[in-house]
Amino acid sequence: MQGQKYSAWSLFKHGLRHHKTWEPAWRRAKLQPAYDVVIIGGGGHGLATAYYLAKNHKVGRIAVLEKGYLGGGNTARNTTIVRSNYLWDEAAAIYEHGMKLWEGLTEDLNFNVMFSQRGVFNLGHTLQDMRDIERRVNANRLQGIDAFVLNTAEVKEKIPQLNCSKSSRYPVLGASWQPRAGIAHHDAVARGFARAASRLGVDLIENCEVTGLDVEGGKVRGVQTSQGYVKAGRVGCVAAGHSSVLARMAGLRLPVESHPLQAFVSESMQRVIDTVIMSNAVHGYLSQSDKGELVIGAGIDGYLGYGQRGSPHVIDHTAAAIIELFPQFSRVRMNRQWGGIVDVCPDACPIISKTSVQGLYFNCGWGTGGFKATPGSGHVFAHTIAHDQPHPLAAPFAIDRFHSGHLIDEHGAAGVAH
Amino acid sequence: MLRLHCPHCDELRDEEEFSYAGEAYIPRPSAPESVDDATWGDYLFMRRNTKGWFWEQWQHGAACRKVFAVRRNTATYEISGTWTLEEGKPLFLAETRGEAA
CB A243 within 8 Å of CB A256: yes
How many residues are given for chain A? 418
Contacts of A64 (CB under 8 A, 6+ apart): A39, A41, A42, A46, A47, A50, A70, A197, A202, A203, A204, A205
- The whole domain housing B45 covers 3-96
How much is the pLDDT for A418?
A: 81
Q: Distance, in angstroms, between A68 CA and closest chain B CA?
A: 16
pLDDT tens, residue by residue, A103-123: 999 999 999 999 999 999 999
3-state class (DSSP) for residue A216: strand
Instruction: Indicate which CATH number applies to the domain containing B57.
Output: 3.30.2270.10
Phi and psi at residue A40, in whole multiples of 5°? -95, 115
Average pLDDT over residues A210-214: 98
- In this prediction, residues A357-384 reach a mean pLDDT of 98
Q: Say which residues have a Cβ less than 8 Å from residue A171's Cβ, sequence separation at least 6.
A: A125, A152, A164, A165
Task: Please compute the mean of the pLDDT values over residues A388-417 and round it to a whole number.
Answer: 95
Average pLDDT over residues A328-355: 97
CB contact under 8 A, B56 and A304: yes
What pLDDT, on the 0 to 100 scale, is given for residue A381? 98
Q: Which of A303, A362, A402, A418 to mutate to test the interface with B (most CBs of B within 10 A)?
A: A303
Calpha distance A32→A11 (Å, rounded): 34
Q: Is the pLDDT of residue A1 over 80?
A: no
Which domains can be identified in chain A, with CATH numbers? 28-84+86-111+186-256+347-414 (3.50.50.60), 120-180+258-344 (3.30.9.10)
Which chain A residues have a beta carbon less than 8 Å from that of B77? 305, 307
Task: Answer whether A46's CB lies under 8 Å from A64's CB.
Answer: yes
Determine whether the interchain pair A258/B19 forms a contact, defined as Cβ–Cβ distance below 8 Å: no
Within 10 angstroms of residue B98's Cβ, the number of other Cβ atoms is 4
Which residues in chain B have Cβ-Cβ distances shorter than 8 Å to A256? Answer: 47, 49
Which pLDDT band holds residue A2 (cuts at 50, 70, 90)? low
B13 occurs within a structural domain: yes
pLDDT in tens, B42-76: 999 999 999 999 999 999 999 999 999 999 999 99
- Residue B101 included in any domain: no
The answer on pLDDT for A417 being more than 90 is no
Q: Does the distance separating the beta carbons of A253 and B74 come in below 8 Å?
A: no
**If 0-12 CB within 10 Å is exposed, 13-18 middle and 19+ buried, where does residue A243 land?**
buried
Shortest Cα distance from B90 to chain A (angstroms)?
22
pLDDT band at A283 (very low <50, low <70, confident <90, very high): confident
Spell out which residues of chain B touch residue A312, defining contact as CB-CB under 8 Å: 1
- pTM over the 0.95 mark: yes
Task: Flag whether pLDDT at B5 surpasses 90.
Answer: yes
Provide the domain count of chain B.
1
Q: What is the pLDDT of residues A68-108, one digit of tens each?
A: 999 999 999 999 999 999 999 999 999 999 999 999 999 99
A402·B74 Cβ contact <8 A = no
Confirm if B2 and A301 have CB atoms less than 8 A apart: no
pLDDT category of residue A154 using cuts at 50, 70 and 90: very high
Handedness of CA A50, A53, A55, A59 (dihedral sign): negative
Residue B76 domain flag: yes
Give the nearest partner residue to A304 out of B37, B46, B49, using CB atoms: B49
Nearest CA in chain A to B23: A304
C-alpha distance across the termini of chain A, in Å: 43
Instruction: State whether A256 and B47 contact (CB < 8 Å).
Output: yes
CA angle in degrees (0–180, nearest 5) for A42-A46-A51: 110
Neighbours of B89 (CB within 10 A): 15
What's the pLDDT at B17? 98
Residue B53 lies in a domain: yes
Which residues of chain B does A305 touch, with a Cβ-Cβ cutoff of 8 Å? 74, 77
Spatial neighbors of A167 by CB under 8 A, at least 6 apart, are none
In the DSSP assignment, the letter for residue A397 is: G
Across A223-231, average pLDDT: 98
Question: For the complex shown, is ipTM > 0.95?
Answer: yes
Residue range B33-46: average pLDDT? Answer: 97
Q: CA nearest A66: which of A190, A185, A217?
A: A190
